[in-house]
Amino acid sequence: MSDTFPPGFLWGTATAAYQIEGAARENGRTPSIWDTFSHTPGKVARGETGDIAVDHFHRRAEDVRMMADLGVNAYRFSVSWPRVQPTGRGPAIQRGLDFYRGLVDDLLAHGIEPVLTLYHWDLPQELEAAGGWPERETAYRFAEYARTVAEALGDRVTRWTTLNEPWCSAFLGYGSGVHAPGRTDPVAALRAAHHLNLGHGLAAQALRSVLPPGGQVSVSLNPAAVRARTQSPEDRDARRRIDALANRVFTGPMLTGAYPGDLLADTARLTDWAFVQAGDEAVSRQPLDSLGINYYQPSVVSAADGQDAGERSRQDGHGASEHSPWPGAESVVFHQPPGELTEMGWSVDPSGLYDLLLRYTREAPGLPLMITENGAAYPDKPDADGAVHDPDRIRYLHGHLSAVQRAIADGADVRGYFLWSLMDNFEWSYGYGKRFGAVHVDYETQRRTPKSSARWYARLAGTGVLPEVPVG
């Protein structure tokens, strides 16, 4: 197996608007569901919000220069929907679009390809007040927004992603309530999943109608590498149930044009799925130029064997809640995988990424794959000289990128890798307590300091050859 990645491989970093931009009330931007959620007492650790985040809105030029110094050739960012279209309807605010026009121009001037995500969880609050993703109308509003952004930036941005991790939007936002908007209704979660699928399809159609030839459309999912704790029939059925809810609820409509029958059967006691109208699944299945895969850890599951609901929810890696994000599979027990853990309590297991890459190579032959998020949080701190050494992250990246190389050698058509994240930022309900960045941010001064992993990743991006892990 070669230690060299294919020619033309994209080496990028990734961020999300609410996590880095700040400027929450500037230039006409209105609240998103994450503004509302983070300002609700008890929802985010230490009461922290993304009001300022890492002030990327005002430090855009500095941050792009920093990316150029790191040697990456691509940057995956998201557009803040309420910065562009504050009510989620109607004409765009040009001042909002101007920020992204400037960002794209800066990236291109430094030889960095912009990779634009339309939705990374910041639904305009006004649309949530009208029902949010459980309502069909939100899918149509999303397509309108997609067209608006494409008309403004389609002449300079080639790579477009409709949704980031719709599973989190649907099941953490409307099921367990640990993400915005914080609702806890299993039927609303399933309705949201469907309208996210529909919104993806409608947005993909809108993008295709506006983008010039060569424009590429993708979606970024966070598929779960689900493993049964034992090979008993009960544990294998638990795996099937979670696979349906974590993976096939999206890949069914998006890749094959149909929801899996076992998912509908598993959730029949909750809903008859009458919110799926004739033709919806066909609309959800739009031609894709690549499939984005976000990966952090595998899941180990079993059938219930007496644990209470709290024990079941504690180990799924998605935050503590009395409400399950797994409608129709609430009795499934999640287990902590063995081995090393990151600061998030997530297991370090590159084999899950390898398995997913080979799975989608089999299930979607001919569809190129992108790793659009992969990374780890560690308790990084500057030393006495101000340097930030993060050898654990380097080992994490080396292990996962070795798994990518192995998958490529075994036939996976992987076209790029985006490190999560460019820099430390607002980590959703964890606030600023978890650091995923290749660049350390002092939140008091906003000073950026590349960590040792950033320099390691720069060598990889510059050569396409996987560097060794430094000793010591």
Q: Among all residues, which ones are annotated catalytic? A: 165, 373
Is residue 132 left, alpha or beta, with left meaning phi > 0 and alpha meaning psi from -120 to 50? left
Token representation of residue 123: 């639904």
**What number of H helices and E strands is found in the chain?**
17, 13
Please check whether residue 366 is in contact with residue 418, taking contact to mean a CB–CB distance below 8 angstroms: no
Token couple for 52: 């300022």
| CA distance readout (Å), 172 to 39, 56, 168, 211, 315 | 18, 26, 5, 32, 15
Instruction: Name every residue whose Cβ is closer than 8 Å to that of residue 315 and which is 6 or more positions away in sequence.
Output: 333, 334, 335, 336
Straight-line distance from the first to the last Cα atom of the chain, in angstroms, rounded to the nearest whole number: 26
Task: Render the burial of 458-467: b for 16+ CB within 10 Å, e for the rest.
Answer: bebbeeeebb
In 10 A of CB 68, how many CB atoms? 17
Alpha-carbon dihedral of residues 206, 212, 216, 217, nearest 10 degrees?
0
On whether the CB atoms of residues 386 and 449 are closer than 8 A, the answer is yes
